[in-house]
Amino acid sequence: MYATNGNVTVTLGCGAVRGRRRDGHLTFHGIPYAAAPVGERRWRAPTAVEPWAGVRDATTPAAPAPQLAQSFTEADSLDEDCLTLDVTVPASATRKRPVLVWLHGGGGTNGSGAVYDAGRLAVTGEVVVVTPQFRLGVLSYFGHPGLADGATFGLQDQQAALRWVRREIARFGGDPGNVTLAGSSHGALQVAAHLTAPGSAGLFHRAVLQSPFGMLGPTPAHTFIPGGPALPPMWSPVAEVERLGAAVAEERGWVRPGSDAEAALAQLRAVPVGELLTVSDAFIRPAFGGAVLPESPAVAITSGRFSRVPVLLGTTRDEARFFVALFADAVGRPVTAGDYPRMLGEAFGAAADEVAARYPLPADTTPSLAWARLCTDRAWAWPAWELGQAFAAHTPTWFYEFADRDAPAPVPVPGFPGGAQHGSELAYQFDLAGVPTPPTAQREWGECLNRYWAAFAESGDPARADLPPWPDLGTGHVQSLAPVRIGGVDYVAEHHLDLWSRLA
């Protein structure tokens, strides 16, 4: 690694890249870790990058993976040449640093590693941060008869990125023998998949799951999004995804009637990417039953068949406010007092009265906020707790609740108190494009999160002498992370987990 005029050049196995020196850290953007999955390589396993001559510019972010804009993000892209990653390095490299590989969220259809400016995390935590981009939605988890390794391409991309880290990260001062795989929301789902995928074993040494969703069981109607149906677990058998893919392709006219599997796939690879993206929402679940993911992670994790690496996971205190605000109030369909009992009945059936007794509609808050509290507990807190217990039975596990109710909302909705909603902790870990930066006092407190996470990346234990103690989940401890107090919280009582355990 050498510097010239504020730029920094690193020579990799495939060629040299030129990054940029910034305030206390170095950044390298858009480094290819696999060949572009375009044309005949669409819906195939990632392949090796062709070496390049000269020095490749890595000073500006690459385009995100193909995606359409959504209510929670304006980003869109049609560029299938998306298998790149960013590297953020503390400027003073005095030793090999722990490596944190960050898998972004975005519901499986959206997102980009490039929007996570990891400078503060790298400098505060003295870690090397790698943020890969990978195929999303229909390009990632689409299946069709005859398609090898269908509905696992995003996971395979991430495995390719992890193999790149093993080969190349020492050139940036990172330790390839000390890699933490971390992700939020849909990124956490993929971390769970890697814990059970044979091809991922040994590529990382700790795991962080922030706000995991739908890992082990179904989600009742209305509790993810008001008005939404009940949801199955976030894993699908290969045969089911193949049937869905064939039906969608036929319905959209992408495949000529009577085509055999080989001809059908050739026709599908010729469909413009913009057309394919219109069905991305249907293809967000990794498929199990094949070589990449032989077993449902829900079954594998609860049975103890996963990589026994230390695990750090948790939720935010008001997870569901994000979804109720964005998909109910913001679109003019807030939950009403009349909706509340109907939704309880549709979500919980014969148990609706028991749930209503524990979650009455209070007079001092809106029905939308009351419903968000219930949804937080049933759709987020209970499943995460269940997942944490499954991990803790087999490997050292730490559990937290991010509880800063004054955190900046990722997507503010006027008149709706954001609280510690889904994704609100990310502004303390990263500088996020389009998300307000927390005020100085909060931001300084937020560095505690980065120091805890860095300690975990260093040693597999988040405890630090300069921060409040953090016992593991085996003791029953849940760490509440908030500016006013860091310490234990009665998570079971706070989120009525006795009720949800009984109704599970």
Question: Which residues are marked as active site?
Answer: 185
Structure tokens at 160: 């390719």
Structure tokens at 385: 């707790």
Q: How big is the CA angle at 260 (ends 259 and 266), to the nearest 5 degrees?
A: 80
Strands 55-57 and 128-132, bridge-based pairing: unpaired
Strand partners, 102: 182
Three-state DSSP class for 300?
A: helix
Helical spans, DSSP H, in 85-237: 119-125, 138-141, 153-168, 186-196
Angstrom distance (rounded) from CA 99 to CA 180: 6
Angstrom distance (rounded) from CA 420 to CA 338: 27
Please list, in sequence order, all residues whose beta carbon lies within 8 angstroms of the beta carbon of residue 249, skipping any fewer than 6 positions away.
144, 255, 264, 268
Q: Other C-beta atoms within 10 Å of 218: how many?
A: 12
Question: With the CA atoms of 265, 271, 276 and 282 taken in that order, what torsion angle do they form, in degrees rounded to the nearest 10?
Answer: -20
HSE (side-chain half, CA atoms, 13 Å) at 257: 1
